[in-house]
Structure 1
Amino acid sequence: MNYLAHVFLSGTDTELMIGNFIADAVRGKQLLQFPERVQEGILLHRQIDAYTDRHEVVAQTKNRLRPEYGKYAPVIADMFYDHFLAANFKTISGQDLQTFTQQTYTVLQANFNLMPERVQQFLPHMMQHNWLLSYAQLRGINQALSGLSRRTSFDSGMETATQELERNYPQYAADFDLFFPELLHFTRNWLEQH
């Protein structure tokens, strides 16, 4: 899952959300530098990623993408799933996506000094271009994937992935509809235990 899913799955706990948001920039024992609840958010992020990586529906999505996109299939699948979450956010969460994203940016900005340097570098750009809201539109997903493609060492082809999404939209939507309720259930159970 990508940024939108990770912050959404944190619920209303802001420290948990911060940890979940910054987790990809935190390696190994760096975890211990953060307040306890932020550490829990980092661990939650890792659990979400592990659950997603071993889920059979997500494997179907990645397998559909792999012939064209190879090792970048998991990245594209994450972006596709964030698109479906954003596009159906009101139905899934009961909240307005624009309101949710503004509240999220407010929390992240208020905790800017807590974030690793890598996150501090991209967060202003993320907010300025409203990535989280833009994921609801194919144009926004295309911009995100094109940006990722420019930053890869190899020819990833990710800049064409939105065309694949458009061609097979119902299949990818069906994958998301099967997977996301199970991820929600898994996350809620994890949160209850922690």
Structure 2
Amino acid sequence: MNYLAHAVLAGPDPLLRLGGLMGDFVKGPLSPAPAHLPERLTQGLRLHRAIDAYAETHPAFRASRARVSPERRRVAGIMVDLFYDHFLARGWAAWPAAPGFAAFSGNVSLAATPGAVLAPPPASAETGVAASPDHGIGTVDSGTAGIGAPTKRGCAQAAATSVADRAAPERDRPVVDLATYCTATYALFADHAALLPPRLAEVAPLMAAHDWLGSYAEAATIALALDRMAARRFSRPTPLAGGGIELLDDYDGFAADFRAFFADALDFARQWRQREGLAEGGE
């Protein structure tokens, strides 16, 4: 999983969420717990690793990896992680009723914006995101692989969709809009800056400044993120370059896999927290 999914699956506790976000930046054993980290943050790191292991064996996640073309199959896991964050961000409003999400959604350390929710746009909608060092800009039609000119719309504007525009059965859901959740998550980095690994300390301000988590809702962002990963993180040529076409070539298939996986992953993470004595109110 990538940043957004790990943050959500960590649940409502701020330090667990921070551990979920830090997981890819912390290597080595976690038992005994690192002395310089709060125990709850270390538990978030452990949950991050448990989720990664769970994903590797889940039929839907494995089906997604198999959807990637043979020439990119060896980097399919990286690609699917990003694809799943895309579907989570794009369909954010669909998840508050899912197990483990409702309790989280009402406790993000910041109050939800009254009367605002991010609804998943139509598949053919063209939207854009702000430029950033590691995430792209532009418009994309779900039926094409093209990346068009940048626009000014992003997570914050999309989150202004009125509750009145939503279907009536959804109005009573305890929704926290995506923009509010993104802001609360970025605040965790600032509030706990002294605990961040050096590389994450460098990246965190960029994540907040350019709204990386919200930008995942755009397929164009995913495509350009893969291109930049190929250029910056690997010393040799990698098939990640151009990988955005994989998402568009089987968009509905990846979307179905994600829905099947994430419903189970929410339940897995909730049960993991319960076993560790970390369940929050409402779970």
Q: TM-score, normalised by structure 2?
A: 0.66
Match of 1:15 in 2: 15
| 2:149 equivalent to 1:67 | no
| 2:180 equivalent to 1:99 | yes
Size of the aligned set, in residue pairs, is 194
**Is the radius of gyration larger for structure 1 or structure 2?**
2
1:82 deviation in Å?
Answer: 0.6
SS in 1 for 2:68: helix
Contact 1:11–1:17 (8 Å) recurs in 2: yes
1-structure distance, mates of 2:77, 2:203:
21
Match of 2:271 in 1: 189
Q: Which moved more, 1:81-90 or 1:93-102?
A: 93-102
| 2:88 equivalent to 1:85 | yes
Q: Deviations over 1:14-52 (max 9, x none)?
A: 111111111111122465131100010000000000000
Q: Which moved more, 1:77-86 or 1:6-15?
A: 6-15
Contact 2:55–2:61 (8 Å) recurs in 1: yes
Q: Pick from 35, 40, 44: which aligns with 1:41?
A: 44
| 2:116 equivalent to 1:113 | no
Q: TM-score, normalised by structure 1?
A: 0.94
Match of 2:108 in 1: none
1-structure distance, mates of 2:207, 2:70:
30
Q: Which moved more, 1:85-94 or 1:35-44?
A: 85-94
Match of 1:174 in 2: 256
Moved >3 Å (runs of 4+)? none
2-structure distance, mates of 1:20, 1:169:
27
Contact 1:66–1:72 (8 Å) recurs in 2: no
Structure 2: give runs of 5+ residues left out of the alignment. 97-174, 277-283
Structure 1: give runs of 5+ residues left out of the alignment. none
CA RMSD of aligned residues (A): 1.4
- AA at the equivalent of 1:147: R
1:184 deviation in Å?
Answer: 0.6
Match of 1:25 in 2: 25
Contact 2:67–2:250 (8 Å) recurs in 1: no
Q: Pick from 209, 221, 227: which aligns with 1:146?
A: 227
Contact 1:149–1:159 (8 Å) recurs in 2: yes
| 2:4 equivalent to 1:4 | yes
Structure with the higher fraction of residues in helix conformation = 1
1:154 deviation in Å?
Answer: 2.5
SS in 1 for 2:241: helix
1:159 deviation in Å?
Answer: 3.1
Contact 2:25–2:200 (8 Å) recurs in 1: yes
